[in-house]
Amino acid sequence: MRWLTNASWFAFGMRAFTRGGYERAAAAFADGALQSDHAGKLVAVTGANSGVGFEAAKALAARGCSVLMLCRSRERGEAAAERVRRETGSSDVHLHVCDVSSLHSIESFASAFLADSKRPLHALVNNAGALLAERGRSGEGLDLSFATNTLGGVALAARLLPALRAAPGARVVFVSSGGMYTEKLELSGWDDASAPWDGTRAYALDKRRQVAAAEELARRWGPLGVKVVSMHPGWADTEGVRTSLPGFAEKMGSRLRTAAQGADTITWLCLEDAAKLEGGAFYLDRAPQAKHLTWSGTEYDDSAAAALVDKLLGLAGLGAPTAA
């Protein structure tokens, strides 16, 4: 069955995830939200020093947003922030050092932000991620892929929930991947060091968890006025893809999207009228998509997504906020 799922996924990807897929979809885009001035809106983007995260930060700054670029490396983050300022003419672009694989780093950033800023947070883009060639461990001893790609985004969003609730039409965007189509939702096993390491599969499992977490957080936080969605940027020509999947990047060549094309839907999700967004949906090219391929056997129920979020919040030392 896996070979059939993988073949179906690749055929779908060649139609929809490539530069050609973006160009076909973009022909029908209505750019109202992206043509407006969004001065006063505060947006935080993780992993903003390169790739689609950088391009999203730049596009948001160009449209008047105050942009917080959350990066693990101060040196690379400063260089990226300065480039955004230079290319957009906006001085309202700010670097914050935050390693999303570290619960301590997330708590430190969120605590300082809530204490010092007092500003409503219009949007949080959980973009930082990594496809790891070797197994690693986070500062708290968790599997590094899981900590970076699954746990960190949920922990950061939960820590920043007070600022999100204070912003009318707030939203959280999880940048997932089309690779999630190939995997079921697994609620355990991320710390099984005895299993052979497969970085590509671990990444896909994490990206499936992101989609499920977004569904459940949308149910919990929707009544609080916070939309939560996930999205796929498509197959884009980024440093991360070239480093992690060099063979794929070489084979795809010019069929890969530009990083800016990959970032388009991130920007749109941050700026579109919240009433027009579907909480819990998985977006590609500004439209909700099916979350499972036919005959893939990857379906799960709401209780599984709820159990996942409960586990994640528990690992992060957080409760589960409700509308009460």
Residues in CB range of 253: below 8 A, 6 or more apart = none
Residues in CB range of 94: below 8 A, 6 or more apart = 66, 67, 68, 69, 81
Q: What's the alpha-carbon Rg for the chain, to the nearest Å?
A: 18
Catalytic residue among 22, 203, 283, 300: 203
SS (H, E, C) 139-185: CCCCEHHHHHHHHHHHHHHHHCHHHHHCCCCEEEEEECCHHHHHCCC
CB atoms closer than 10 angstroms to residue 293: 17
Whose tokens are 């960190």? That residue is 152
Relative to beta strand 66-71, strand 93-97 is parallel
Active site residue 181: no
Alpha-carbon distance 160 to 71, whole Å?
16
Give the residue among 175, 179, 67, 159 at the shortest CA–CA distance from 127: 175
Alpha-carbon distance 83 to 77, whole Å?
10
Q: What is the dihedral of CA 111, 117, 120, 123, to 10 degrees?
A: -70
DSSP helix/strand/coil, 259: helix
| H/E stretch holding 265 | helix 259-271
Q: Decide if 47 contacts 57 (C-beta within 8 A).
A: no
Residues in CB range of 293: below 8 A, 6 or more apart = 5, 8, 9, 12, 181
**Active centre residues (catalytic):** 203
